[in-house]
């Protein structure tokens, strides 16, 4: 994207102000890239990604279900590893989240990931480091029915890849910033990821920070600020 100096500076200023407005954003992104989310449980990261793929509200619906899954299954050791998650009967979990497709995604992702390392963390990080954005549909994870590019990117981020998810919120917020600075919005998903990455580097922030910033600017940040747990980003 060709930006003149004035427009480029305006866009940079908008991004830096939005990132700075969220005090826990950088630390939360650090934890994500270190595969430390959800107490370091890769099982919960996979369940999170699978439930998030439903498109429902993250903090209102996904986070409480992942926490409940942790309490019922992970903490007691019933589903504490990718190997165990890969062997679940999805029907046994419908009382927790009545979406069989999501549980099937979690199960199949776990089944594919467990082959990449001796430990769950090693497996996710090894897979992510070898994953290629442009060939995502040919990847063992990207080829799973129900895994779209957004879920693929989310898993890569939690596996240590500094990148962007092209979900509707990220695209809406960033494209609004672009148009406000006089540029055309970016529509295609792969093109959007590439442009967003370039814009983040230009602004002096990480792509993952640009991505998370958009979620916190588009409603989710207000929910965090008004919740009883304002530091929730550092706990999930």
CA 19 – CA 94 distance, rounded (Å): 37
Residues 6+ away with beta carbon under 8 Å from 38: 44, 45, 48, 66, 70, 236
Q: Which stretch of 2-16, 23-37, 176-190 has the lowest confidence by average pLDDT?
A: 2-16
Q: What pLDDT, on a 0 to 100 scale, did the predictor assign at position 22?
A: 87
Q: What pLDDT, on a 0 to 100 scale, did the predictor assign at position 220?
A: 57
Percentage of residues in the chain with pLDDT exceeding 90? Answer: 83
Q: What pLDDT, on a 0 to 100 scale, did the predictor assign at position 55?
A: 87
| pLDDT tens-digit map of 109-144 | 999 999 999 999 999 999 999 999 999 999 999 999
Q: Is a pLDDT exceeding 80 seen at residue 194?
A: yes
Write the DSSP symbol of residue 74.
I
Q: What pLDDT, on a 0 to 100 scale, did the predictor assign at position 60?
A: 87
Mean pLDDT of 154-181: 96
- Asked if 168 and 176 count as a contact pair (C-beta separation under 8 A), the reply is no
Q: For the chain, what is the largest distance between any 2 Cα atoms, rounded to a whole number of angstroms? A: 57
Q: What pLDDT, on a 0 to 100 scale, did the predictor assign at position 226?
A: 46
| pLDDT tens-digit map of 61-113 | 999 999 999 999 999 999 999 999 999 999 999 999 999 999 999 999 999 99
Q: Is a pLDDT exceeding 90 seen at residue 29?
A: yes
Q: What pLDDT, on a 0 to 100 scale, did the predictor assign at position 42?
A: 98
**Could you tell me the end-to-end alpha-carbon distance of the chain, in angstroms, rounded to an integer?**
35
- Asked if 125 and 160 count as a contact pair (C-beta separation under 8 A), the reply is yes
- Asked if 147 and 50 count as a contact pair (C-beta separation under 8 A), the reply is no
């Amino acid at each position: 994207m060709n930006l003149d100096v004035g427009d480029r500076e305006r866009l940079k200023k908008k991004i830096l102000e939005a990132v700075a407005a969220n005090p826990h954003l950088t630390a939360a992104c650090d934890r994500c890239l270190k595969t430390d989310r959800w107490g370091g449980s890769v099982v919960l990261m996979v369940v999170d990604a699978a439930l998030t793929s439903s498109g429902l509200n993250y903090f209102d619906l996904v986070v409480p279900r992942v926490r409940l899954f942790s309490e019922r299954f992970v903490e007691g050791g019933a589903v504490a590893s990718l190997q165990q998650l890969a062997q679940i009967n999805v029907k046994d979990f419908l009382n927790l989240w009545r979406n069989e497709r999501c549980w099937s995604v979690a199960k199949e992702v776990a089944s594919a990931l467990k082959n990449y390392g001796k430990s769950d963390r090693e497996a996710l990080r090894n897979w992510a480091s070898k994953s290629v954005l442009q060939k995502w549909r040919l990847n063992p994870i990207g080829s799973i029915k129900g895994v779209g590019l957004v879920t693929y990117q989310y898993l890569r981020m939690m596996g240590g890849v500094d990148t962007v998810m092209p979900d509707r919120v990220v695209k809406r917020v960033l494209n609004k910033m672009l148009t406000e600075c006089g540029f055309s919005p970016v529509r295609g998903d792969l093109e959007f990821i590439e442009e967003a990455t370039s814009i983040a580097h230009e602004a002096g922030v990480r792509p993952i920070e640009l991505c998370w910033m958009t979620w916190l600017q588009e409603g989710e940040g207000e929910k965090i600020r008004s919740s009883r747990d304002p530091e929730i980003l550092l706990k999930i």
